[in-house]
Amino acid sequence: MTAQEIRQAFLDFFASKQHTIVPSAPIVVKNDPTLMFTNAGMNQFKAVFLGEEPVKFPRVADTQRCLRVSGKHNDLEEVGIDTYHHTMFEMLGNWSFGDYFKKEAIAWSWELLTEVYKLDKDRLYVTYFEGDEKEGLAADTETLELWRAFVAEDHILPGNKKDNFWEMGETGPCGPCTEIHYDGRSDAERAAKPGAEFVNGVDDSVMEIWNNVFMQFNRLKDGSLQPLPAKHVDTGMGFERLVRILQGKTSNYDTDVFQPLIQFIADKSGIAYGKDVKTDIAMRVMADHIRAISFAIADGQLPASNKAGYVIRRILRRAVRYSYQQLNFKEPFLNQLVPLLAQQFEGVFTELVEQKDFVQKVVLEEETAFLRTLEQGIKKFNEIDTKVITGELAFELSDTYGFPIDLTELMAREGGKSVDISGYEASLQKQKLRSRAATAVDTGDWIVLRGGDNTRFVGYDELMVERVEILKYRKVTAQGKEQYHVVLDTTPFYAEGGGQVGDTGQLVSEWYDEQTGPLVLQVVDTRKENGLIIHVVEPQSTYAPPDFKEVPGKLPNPMPRRYSAFVDNGKRMFTNANHSATHLLNAALKQILGDHISQKGSFVNHEYLRFDFSHFSKISEGDLEGIERTVNSKIRECIPLKEQRSVYYRDAIESGATAAFGEKYGDFVRVITFDDKFSKELCGGTHVKNTGEIGFIKITSESAVAAGVRRIEAVTSVFAENYVSEQFNVLKDVKEVLKNPANVKKSLETLLEDNARMKKELEKGVLLKASGLKDGLAKKAELINGINFIAEKVELPNADAIKNLAYSIKDIVADLFLVLVAEIDGKPSITVMVADNLVKEKGLNAGAIIKELAKEVQGGGGGQPFYATAGGKDVTGLPKVLEKAKAFIPAN
């Protein structure tokens, strides 16, 4: 069977068991602060397991693309080295939400593996949870008895909590599980030792292929287990491992999932796959990593310098390092794999097929930039003049230039040097601790005041609602700051989403104290987490009693449950204007630049808007003016908002509505239209009632933010008025300085031309002065042990003049050791020049000398063995520099 046939057989099988086949969720997670990427098939159903979202389909199956490169599940450094770890992989899964349970799940998994896939029953081993006394959990004897109907007793094995009790994390849904393992060893090996001895061992010939998790509990923060509202089934089967078994291979990379990519790499590099361990690893790394990179970009995550974007950039750079180091690709190559990858997934994951050109261009730009960085890193490495490379420097090469530590060690050995590995590990650990501390969040358990989790959102129509109730709340501490998360039964607060920030405002209690008034909770943000609308509350209020710091834990007992909810009307009004303006801007960009424009992200708050879109060149001033003019014309038309709620997704798309990049939509969507022929988009955000409420728009900047992605920032309404007023005042000040000329531009150009001419004349004078100093300093050379030594203070205005002077002296004085000091703009400057022959014959090193001399001026510096410079803070130390310099002349 081909990989395509194997995947389809799984989906067809569960469709025959009345499962709804659902699409894969994006690999990038947008509504769960505990995750950056989807790392398991159950992630998109987490809220259903917790009872926070209603069950849409009781039985579901899919193939979910997952990424495991950060946090608890981090396989990155093993990828490519062994035969079965991957960054992105497919997880075949079937779920039951309060419907069937252990009996059906076990029977169907056995039926699929042995009757559809025809796996040898004697090669299959199953495990069950043996119980845990400390947790008070009994053995899962129900699962044991169910397996006895299908599997021989010696192929059913007990498993401990580590292997057979699945937990999503420190808190959250969990339960016992049963794993299915496949013994892929030869008949002779199996005859010598039974497979039972290798289950959950180190031999990857005996591997887990399917895990059936029986979700029964919710792990609370205190470690206790709370029964879930309903029992669920959550299964996951590694697609790549399954294909390996069914195709009779000993490595996942030898299957038709990876071989087309690997053979393409082999052909282009001229190196055969399977001949050398190092080049094989490099090809596997590239074939694996391009999958993760491509799908992350297609799902909306561009490579960046922080958070999820940095993870993708790190994966990409790891692939480029291997291609550069082991396969000798010195020019961008990784991007060429994207079209081939898209072809493989045609009909499976359409996201990549639809965006392959964009993804390829982004990868190309990232490769090009990183190859430049690698070259800079090699240059930096070559400047190291010590025999031992410090741990700090090795870490800098890794962190800044993308050098893996093994590459630094290899280059060090080739140059007769060594690396302080323990120092490198210490620097790496420090960074990890800093990163953990910066992101550490202590989240308490939910305290439930009233049953139910479904919040009714009325914020499209209302900004104030009376008699809302708190359903539950929890305490959250991040970096020493306390906040509370509150869930209401009804809310007018819009939760952050689609680029729009969450609403702020107040919750005012019905409870009233004669001395202090009502309890007022300040809502500082509104977010969505796994389907829950969460109001972030700061523990401060003018009206609350002194012990409000413990809100809502110690306020009055019982805690007031009913409130009036007030959204900050001013902020919402300006946010509406900016959000609607992004829709008009998107339409104007397509009208003027072309249909290739696709939204790649946005940010909207009450002060300004930011809009990212696909475009591979800077927008001309003329086009920018045209875009702004088009949007403003639509604003002046006062186009009424046409809002359609609960439109069937397919109907919305067929009607011409645009879907936002990287967003996941349900069966029913909301459509926002401003003129059917101009702007029609799927959107869950808030908007103006007609475009006239925007006032007008002013674009403040246009720039590149990533490969193939441009960004426009703009302001609207009163903020646009303020911006224009500020710019007008600046122009007014400039005109006053220029004595109110009729043509400001021409006056400025004349001023700049005059300034440039005077600067050139000044530089010419400085050069003449330096040239005059050259001969005088050359005559002061003191011959010491075969070295012409010069140490003098010079009066020159800048570093370039001193550099030119040093090089000109080097041209006329042989065997030169030159030290020049100067005071430039009140700061000390030191320059050291050493003749090339003295570097080789006498061991003089300008870079090493300058570091010692710089200590006298409380500064630092560096450079090459023949030329180096330094600066500092203390000009009074310059005489000591000149005195100390002579000490570096070696004895005969």
Q: Please report the pLDDT score of residue 547 as a whole number.
A: 42
Q: What is the pLDDT of residues 59-114, one digit of tens each?
A: 999 999 998 875 444 456 678 778 778 899 999 999 999 999 999 999 999 999 99
Q: β-strands 418-419, 388-389: how paired? A: parallel
- Rounded Cα distance, 549 and 747, in Å: 61
Position 641 pLDDT exceeds 60: yes
Measured between its terminal Cα atoms, the distance across the chain in Å is 79
State the average pLDDT over residues 184-210.
92
Q: What is the pLDDT of residues 234-267, one digit of tens each?
A: 999 999 999 999 999 999 999 999 999 999 999 9
Share of the chain above pLDDT 70, in %: 95
- Rounded Cα distance, 212 and 110, in Å: 11
- The closest alpha carbon to 806, from 848, 777, 768, 845, belongs to 777
Whether the CB-CB separation of 336 and 268 falls below 8 Å is answered with: yes
Whether the CB-CB separation of 459 and 494 falls below 8 Å is answered with: yes
Q: Please report the pLDDT score of residue 706 as a whole number.
A: 78
Q: Please report the pLDDT score of residue 343 as a whole number.
A: 94
State the average pLDDT over residues 298-322.
87
- Lookup: tokens for 102: 């252990």
Q: What is the pLDDT of residues 273-303, one digit of tens each?
A: 999 999 999 999 999 999 999 999 998 888 8
State the average pLDDT over residues 221-240.
90
State the average pLDDT over residues 525-551.
68
Q: Is the peptide bond before 545 cis (omega within 30 degrees of 0)?
A: no
Residue 291 contacts by C-beta under 8 Å, 6 or more apart in sequence? 86, 87, 88, 341
Phi, psi of 340 (to 5 degrees): -65, -40
Instruction: Provide the Cα torsion 461, 464, 468, 473; round to 10°.
Output: 100
* Radius of gyration of the chain from its Cα atoms, rounded to whole angstroms: 34
Q: What is the pLDDT of residues 646-685, one digit of tens each?
A: 999 999 999 999 987 667 777 889 999 999 999 999 999 9
Q: What is the pLDDT of residues 470-518, one digit of tens each?
A: 998 888 887 778 888 999 999 999 999 889 999 999 999 887 767 667 8
Which one-letter DSSP state was computed for residue 272? -
Q: Is the pTM above the cut of 0.75?
A: no
Q: Please report the pLDDT score of residue 543 as a whole number.
A: 46
Q: Is the peptide bond before 640 cis (omega within 30 degrees of 0)?
A: no
Q: How confident is the model at residue 30 (pLDDT cuts 50, 70, 90)?
A: confident
Q: β-strands 464-478, 481-488: how paired? A: antiparallel
- Rounded Cα distance, 161 and 175, in Å: 10
- Rounded Cα distance, 28 and 67, in Å: 9
Q: What is the pLDDT of residues 810-859, one digit of tens each?
A: 999 999 999 999 999 899 999 999 999 999 888 899 999 999 999 999 99
- Rounded Cα distance, 416 and 412, in Å: 6
Distance of CA 537 to CAs 464, 474, 483, 494, 532, Å? 17, 10, 6, 15, 15
- Rounded Cα distance, 81 and 285, in Å: 8
Q: Please report the pLDDT score of residue 374 as a whole number.
A: 82
Choose between 77 and 417: higher pLDDT: 417
Is 674 in a helix, a strand, or coil? strand
Which amino acid is residue 803, in one-letter code?
K
Distance of CA 703 to CAs 137, 616, 712, 719, 723, Å? 58, 11, 7, 21, 19
Position 555 pLDDT exceeds 50: no
